[in-house]
Structure 1
Amino acid sequence: MSKVTSAQVAQRAGVSQSAVSRVFTPGASASKRTVEKVRKAADELGYRPNSLARAMVSGKSRIIGLVVAYLENHFYPEALEKLSNALQEQGYHILIFMASSTSGDISDVVEEILDYQVDGIITASVAMSSDLTDRCRKAGVPIVLFNRSQDGPDLSSVASNNVAGGRKIAEFLIAAGHRKIGYIAGWEGASTQRDREAGFRTGLAAAGVSLHSRAVGDFRSDRAAEAARQMFSGDDRPDAVFVCNDHMAFAVMDVLRSDLGLSVPGDVSVVGYDDVPIAGWPAYDLTTVRQPANRMVAETVGLLLAEIDGTGKGPQKIEIDGPLVVRGSARKPEGWSE
C-alpha cells in the first residue's frame, strides 16, 4: 500500500496543498471551514502528516529531549507526565533518555539527543558539565534544569526552595519537643541534597540544637534502609529523623517498624520531602514538604519555550516555596492546628 500524500488530501478537499500544510502545522492559520474540509478528507484517505519531513523544512522538530536519571522516586513519573502534558498543549512532544546515574557522565546521552535535532532539553536531577552546556549552546539548543540547580550563571533551573523547606522541618521538629534529631542524606553531589541539609542545619542551629546523627542514603531505598539500621540500632538513637526525600523515607519507616520494632511516631518521628501520592496512604501517612510540581512544570516549560522562540531573558534560577504537609508520621507540636 502506498502512503497517502498531502497533494491527494488537497485534491479531495478541494483546497491547495499549502492549505493542507497549514492545517497540520501547530500555530499556523487556517479558516474553520478549511480545517473541517481538510481533516475530513484526511480521515477518509487515512492521511497522516510527516512530522520529520516538516521538521527538515522548518528547522523545528517540535521535540523536547528529557534526560532523567532514575524513575524509582515516585516524584518523577508524576512530574514527567505533567511535563509531557504541558508541552503537548504547546504543540511539542518529548523523547525520554535515561542517564546511567545521577552522578554519571551524560555526554553520550546528550550527543544522542542532539542527533535527534531536538528544539530544547530538560534535565531532571542530572548535572550538566560546562563542556556539555557549551556544546548545546553551539548547537542552538536551550537547556533547563528541573529539580536541580547548578552554581554559575549559564543555565536556567527550576526547583523548590529546598533551603526553606529544610528549615521548616527543623523548626517543626524542635517545636514538637525533639532534641535528638537525625538526618539521612541523599546523593552528596545533588543540589537538592545540599540545600535541604543546609536549611535543616540552619534551622537546628537557630534553636541551639546540634544534629544528633547523620547517614547517607544516596536517594536509594536499599541504602536508606541500611542507613536507618545503623542509625537506630544503638542505645543512643534519635527520637526524630528528617529523610531527604519520600522515596527513602518509606524505606526508613519500614525498617523502623518491621525490623527494629519501633513505633512511628511514638518512638521516632519521621519527616520526608516531596509529598508524592504514596505519602498520603494510611500505611505511611508521612509528614513531608510538598514540592509544588505543577508550578515547577509551568515555570520549566515557560522558560524553555521562551528560549526556543527567542523571547527569553537569559538564564534564570527559579525557586518555588512548598508547604510542610503535616500527617501522622511525626509528633505534632503542642497546640498544633492545621
Structure 2
Amino acid sequence: MANEKVTSTDVAKLAGVSQSAVSRVFTPGGSASKKTVDKVKKAAEELGYRPNVLARAMVSGKSRIIGLVVAYLNNQFYPDALEKLSNRLQEEGYHVLVFMTHNAEGIEEVIDEILDYQVDGIIAASVDLSSELAERCRSFSVPIVLFNRSQQTGNFSSVTSDNFCGGMTAAEFLIAGGHKKISYLAGQDSTSTQRDREIGFRAGLSQAGMDLHSRGNGMFDMEKASEATIRMFENDPPDAVFVANDHMALAVMDTLRFELGLKVPEDVSVIGYDNVDAASWPSYRLTTLEQCADVMVSETVRIILQQISHENDAPQKVAIGSPLIIRQSARIPGGWKR
C-alpha cells in the first residue's frame, strides 16, 4: 500500500479488530485494552498509518488543540513559563500551536488565524485583548485565558502574580533598609503587570509617608532600561530602585556598575520582579519578587480545561502570591532573612 492512502479500515483488518477499536486506540483518553492497543499500533506501524487528527476533529467537534498567543519572548520568564505550559497541556492530551504577534494591531488577525484551526481554547500570554475579540471567540464557543495579564473590564479568565502585593513588598523592604530616595523603573504603561506593580509600590511608599523620588520607563526593554537609568542618575540620584521586571533590572545593574561606576548595593539597592534564572547568577545575585510559574501554569491549565468541558464557564481571576527572594543586590534590613 506504499502508493495508496492507508485507512483505519486497513489497520483494523490487519489487526483483526473493529474500526471503532482503532479509533479508540488513537483517541486521547479512549478506552482500549493493552492487547488491543499493541495489536493496533503494530498493524499501524507495518502499514505506515497515521491518524488524521483534523478529520477526527471534524467528527468529534474537538481538535485537542490549544492556541497559544505570545507577544514577545525576550523576557526569559516567558520561554520558561511557556515551555512548562506546553508540557502540561501535552500531558493532558492537547497539542499546542504557538502564534506570535508583535503589536496590538496584529492581534485581531492572529485570533482569526487561530480560530481557523478549530482550536478548543486560547491562552494569551503577554497579550492584551479587547472585549470585542473576547466576544468573537465566545461566539465560536472558544474559551480564552489570559496568562500573566489581566483586564479591568471584560469577562476574561486570567492568571497572574499578585502584582499589587508584590509592589508593596518591594516598597516595604526598601523602606526597612533605611532608603530615603526610592525610585521606580517602569515597563510598558499599557500592560496590567506594569500598572499593578507600580500602584502597589506607590501604595507601600505612601503607607510609610513617603513619595516616589523619581520615575523612569524602560518599556520592558534592556537598552531602553539602560538609557532610562542614566537619565535617572544624572541629577539627585536615588539610593534605591525597584525595577518592573528582572529583564530590565539586569540592565540597570550593569549600567550602574560599568557605566556610572556605582556599587550595588553599597551605593544603590536594586530589586527586580520575576526571578528568572539569570537573577541568581553570581554576577547579579538580584533580590527580586518571584513569579511562581509552576503554580501559574497549573491554574491556567485547570481553568482552560474546565471551560473547554463546560465544567465551569464563569470567568475566573486568579492572583498568585510573589515571595521576595532576598539576595545581595539590595541592602538587607534587620529582621528580614534570606
Pick the TM interval, shorter chain: over 0.9
Shift of the alpha carbon at 1:313?
4.2
Give the partner amino acid of 1:287: T
Give the structure 1 partner of residue 300 of structure 2: 300
64-73 vs 26-35, greater mean Cα deviation? 26-35
Rounded to whole Å, the distance in 1 between the matches of 2:94 and 2:67 is 10
Shift of the alpha carbon at 1:104?
4.0
Give the structure 2 partner of residue 78 of structure 1: 80
Give the structure 1 partner of residue 130 of structure 2: 129
CA contact (8 A) 1:233 1:260 kept: no
Tell me, what secondary structure is at the counterpart of 1:227? helix
- Unaligned runs of 5+ residues in structure 1 are none
Give runs of aligned pairs for residues 129-168 of structure 1, distance below 5 A.
Answer: 129-168=130-169
Give the structure 1 partner of residue 287 of structure 2: 287
Q: Tell me, yes or no, if structure 1 residue 22 matches structure 2 residue 21.
A: no
Give runs of aligned pairs for residues 38-187 of structure 1, distance below 5 A.
Answer: 38-101=40-103, 103-187=104-188
| TM, length-normalised to structure 2 | 0.97
Give the structure 2 partner of residue 266 of structure 1: 266
Q: Tell me, yes or no, if structure 1 residue 231 matches structure 2 residue 232.
A: yes
Give the structure 1 partner of residue 191 of structure 2: 190
Rounded to whole Å, the distance in 2 between the matches of 1:140 and 1:272 is 39
Shift of the alpha carbon at 1:4?
2.7
Shift of the alpha carbon at 1:58?
1.1
Give the structure 1 partner of residue 206 of structure 2: 205
Rounded to whole Å, the distance in 2 between the matches of 1:185 and 1:228 is 11
CA contact (8 A) 2:6 2:47 kept: yes
Rounded to whole Å, the distance in 1 between the matches of 2:109 and 2:299 is 27
- The percentage of counterpart residues that share the same residue type is 64
- Unaligned runs of 5+ residues in structure 2 are none
Shift of the alpha carbon at 1:6?
1.5
CA contact (8 A) 2:131 2:154 kept: no
The CA RMSD measured in Å over matched residues stands at: 1.2
Give the partner amino acid of 1:121: I
Shift of the alpha carbon at 1:153?
4.7
Rounded to whole Å, the distance in 1 between the matches of 2:230 and 2:255 is 7
- Cα-to-partner distance string for 1:23-68 (whole Å, 9 max, x where unaligned): 0001111112111211222223332211111111111111111111
Tell me, what secondary structure is at the counterpart of 1:106? helix
Shift of the alpha carbon at 1:219?
0.9
CA contact (8 A) 1:185 1:197 kept: yes
Rounded to whole Å, the distance in 1 between the matches of 2:335 and 2:58 is 64
Rounded to whole Å, the distance in 1 between the matches of 2:146 and 2:160 is 8
Give the partner amino acid of 1:69: A
Rounded to whole Å, the distance in 1 between the matches of 2:226 and 2:63 is 44
Q: Number of aligned residue pairs: give it.
A: 336
Rounded to whole Å, the distance in 2 between the matches of 1:308 and 1:335 is 47
Give the partner amino acid of 1:134: E
| TM, length-normalised to structure 1 | 0.97
Give the partner amino acid of 1:65: G
Rounded to whole Å, the distance in 2 between the matches of 1:292 and 1:336 is 21
Rounded to whole Å, the distance in 2 between the matches of 1:2 and 1:249 is 59
Rounded to whole Å, the distance in 1 between the matches of 2:68 and 2:32 is 32
Tell me, what secondary structure is at the counterpart of 1:36? helix
Distance 1:303 1:335, change over 3 A: closer
Shift of the alpha carbon at 1:5?
2.1
Shift of the alpha carbon at 1:335?
4.5
Rounded to whole Å, the distance in 2 between the matches of 1:32 and 1:94 is 27
Rounded to whole Å, the distance in 2 between the matches of 1:337 and 1:324 is 10
